[in-house]
Chain A
Amino acid sequence: MTKNTLRTAEKVPSPTPSQPLTAEARPVQQQQRRNPPIAGELAAIASAQQGDGAAFEILYNMHKRRVYSLCLRMLGNVAEAEDLTQEAFLQLHRKISTFRGDSAFSTWLHRMAVNVVLMHLRKKGLPLVSLEETLEPSQEDGPRKDFGTRDLTLSGSIDRVTLERAVEELPPGYRMVFVLHDVEGYEHNEIAGMLQCSIGNSKSQLHKARMRLRNLLRQNADGKVDA
């Protein structure tokens, strides 16, 4: 593969050969916002594809934070997140020669990391989609009519740390869809493919995740007021 091929391809993200459900449905602008080009990345990819270990280490340092954060948010467990970050980069090392530059490298790598996490969860026999809605119907997940006369909106009241903590408290299935859709920017059709569920199920899980987060954040805001 030539550097020129990569440079041209990065402008127009499109499906990658190793991913059946790809990023093609995602708007180009969205992908570029989420995965902006990194200086020196193209040269490092080309060298790593030739077996240059130092170049691979450069790629690791460029992407380790994003891959690890993705794993940590999906799993909610530091040890597992580190193990799967390691596994994702080992897979990258094995497959980097197949990267054709059809999508941004980071998009390709992050999708690989998502697949590593999902495969891990399947091996553990954990359901990827939350069963809570059928097992434990709760009022906070369903329609709420009574908000009383208190301050009605969260707007402007939550900071990043508070939101991160609230996301950690979500049930795994809800958290998975929320992280994939709202944080990572995947579309429902992509998530449905990844989690092997229907698009409607993905939408429903996302909605329930946001409702649960709203409840958690309101409790947090109430706590601050009461304190």
Chain B
Amino acid sequence: MTSKQTHTSRDCDEFQRQLPELFDSEQELVAHAHLQSCQNCSALVRDLEYIAAQAKLLLPIHDPSPAVWDNIQHALIRETKDGTKTS
């Protein structure tokens, strides 16, 4: 516990209960009084923001196997034939 921390565990519980909603309002979150005094909850918020930021950088990196396109082509040919038969 640092000298900066004057909160109680109940404060932390209450703050963390509000977090899902607070994350929707960055201004409200940043200005929240509890964050000014609680190092642990500040670290928690930083981590969760960091995870969200990193997730946005996840790029599509996997390619489907060539069999997927082959199957699509076969299915399209089948659909075309079925369409021709019924028309």
Given contacts A89-B72, A203-B24, contact A214 B60 (CB under 8 A): no
> Is A66 engaged at the interface, CB distance under 8 Å to the other chain?
yes
Q: Which residues of B contact A155 (CB under 8 A)?
A: 46-47, 50
- Say how far B16's CB is from chain A's closest CB, in angstroms: 4
- Do the beta carbons of B56 and A145 come within 8 Å of each other? no
Q: Which residues of A contact B58 (CB under 8 A)?
A: 160, 163-164, 167, 183
B26 on interface, CB distance cutoff 8 Å: no
A200 to B24 alpha-carbon distance, docked (Å) = 11
Which residues on B sit within 8 Å (CB–CB) of A93? 72, 76, 79
Smallest Cβ-Cβ distance to B43: which chain A residue:
A152
B55 A163 Cβ-Cβ under 8 A: yes
A100 interfacial contact with B, CB 8 Å: no
Contact of A214 with B20 in the complex, beta carbons under 8 Å: no
Judging by beta carbons under 8 Å apart, are A82 and B64 in contact?
Answer: yes
Decide: A65 near B60, CB < 8 A? Known: A86-B68, A90-B72, A210-B51. yes
Q: Is the interface of A mostly helix, strand, loop or mixed?
A: helix
Which A65-79 residues have C-beta < 8 A from chain B? 65-66, 68-70, 72
**A204 within 8 A of partner (CB):** yes
The verdict on A60 contacting B72 (CB below 8 Å), with A153-B46, A203-B23, A204-B20 known, is: yes
Q: A152-B43, A203-B23, A206-B20 are in contact. Are A69 and B61 (CB under 8 A)?
A: yes
- How far does the alpha carbon of A69 sit from the alpha carbon of B61 in the complex, in Å? 7
Give the complex CA separation of A29 and B69 in angstroms.
32
Partner of A68, one of B40, B63, B76: B63
| Chain A residues, CB < 8 A from B85 | none
Give the B-binding residues of A (Cβ under 8 A).
53, 57, 60, 64-66, 68-70, 72, 81-82, 85-86, 89-90, 93, 142-145, 147, 152-155, 158, 160, 163-164, 167, 178, 182-183, 185, 188, 200, 203-204, 206-207, 210-211, 213-214, 217
Which 5 pairs between the two chains have the least Cβ-Cβ distance?
A: A69-B60, A182-B55, A152-B43, A143-B16, A207-B20
A-B pairs with beta carbons under 8 Å apart, 22 shown: A64-B68, A65-B63, A66-B60, A68-B64, A68-B68, A69-B59, A86-B68, A86-B71, A90-B72, A145-B13, A147-B43, A152-B43, A153-B47, A178-B55, A183-B55, A183-B58, A200-B21, A203-B20, A203-B24, A207-B19, A214-B44, A214-B47
Chain B positions near chain A (C-beta within 8 angstroms): 9, 12-13, 16-17, 19-21, 23-24, 39-40, 43-44, 46-48, 50-52, 54-65, 67-69, 71-72, 75-76, 79
